[in-house]
A = this chain, B = another copy of it.
């Protein structure tokens, strides 16, 4: 089942069939990653450029490993060493990289919409690896794939997403994807971190963390970024932790077998307490391994090798 699109720019517009095609490809690749020989040749002769204008160890490494395990030729470009400093505009830089015979360009940028804009100028397939506060589709796909593997399906599943929704591309992509797959999503955050009109995206919205977590099958917490701290959105990291952090008491409102998820990196003791992060319900490291498998699947589908 091929992906009927050239790029993966977001979960918006990705059909149920497209998502399932990616999950099927991830399945096979996850099995490969669990063996002693994590290498295929399906992308041999394809060129993958990782273009990161924003630092991200785990996402860059995850895509790099995905590409290399598939036999692709992988090259990294990070902003500090780039022509950005020389005053070249973004589209020119991208078109130059494109002209170096790129097949796929994985793009992370601090501004929302950059991968979309660039995709209109490039021959290479574009994968959005996180753009500003907009989307991060492979993160949502790996989250959803992890839920699928643990819960067996999405129908009627109640997924609570807690934390800084306003600034989270992860929340936005998950909300779109989970809705497509038939899960019920409840969003919970301090009022200052809730985007206006978020309820129009088809989810339940609350500022009551307990109400959100109650009867949840999945509880996903989001990273609180320290730089949000002194701009009046919440009083302090400590108070955030007390009122909105996920500890065992708050988790007890969820179903007993609820999954605990986090996109990482975790601020322990802030949005997530260690007893929960390291507890039996946590699938956080499973998310990480699935991330490589999902990205392998996405790359294969975009390159048309499935």
Chain A residues in the interface with B (C-beta under 8 A): 33-39, 44-47, 49, 55, 57-58, 60-62, 64-65, 68-69, 73, 75, 77-78, 81-83, 85-89, 92-93, 95-101, 103, 226, 264-268, 285-286, 288-289, 291-292
Contacts and interface: CB of A to CB of B under 8 A. Distances in A.
| Copies of this chain assembled into the complex | 3
A73 B38 CA distance: 9
Contacts of A77: 57, 61
A96 B285 contact: yes
Contacts of A37: 44-45
Contacts of A265: 83, 86-88, 92-93, 96
Contacts of A289: 99-101
A188 B60 CA distance: 44
Contact of A266 (B92, B288, B291): B92
B45 A36 contact: yes
A73 B62 contact: no
Nearest to A266: B92
A92 B95 CA distance: 37
Given A68-B73, A73-B69, A47 B58 contact: no
B96 A58 contact: yes
Nearest to A45: B37
A36 B44 CA distance: 10
A38 B46 contact: yes
Contacts of A55: 81-82, 85
A77 B46 CA distance: 23
A103 B35 CA distance: 11
A205 B78 CA distance: 40
A101 B38 contact: yes
Contacts of A62: 100
Contact of A96 (B45, B86, B226, B264): B264
Q: Which of A57, A58, A85, A89 has the most CB of B within 10 A?
A: A57
Given A65-B73, A93-B265, A82 B57 contact: yes
Given A45-B36, A89-B268, A101-B38, A75 B61 contact: yes
Contacts of A73: 38-39, 65, 68-69
B38 A57 contact: no
B285 A97 contact: no
A57 B83 contact: yes
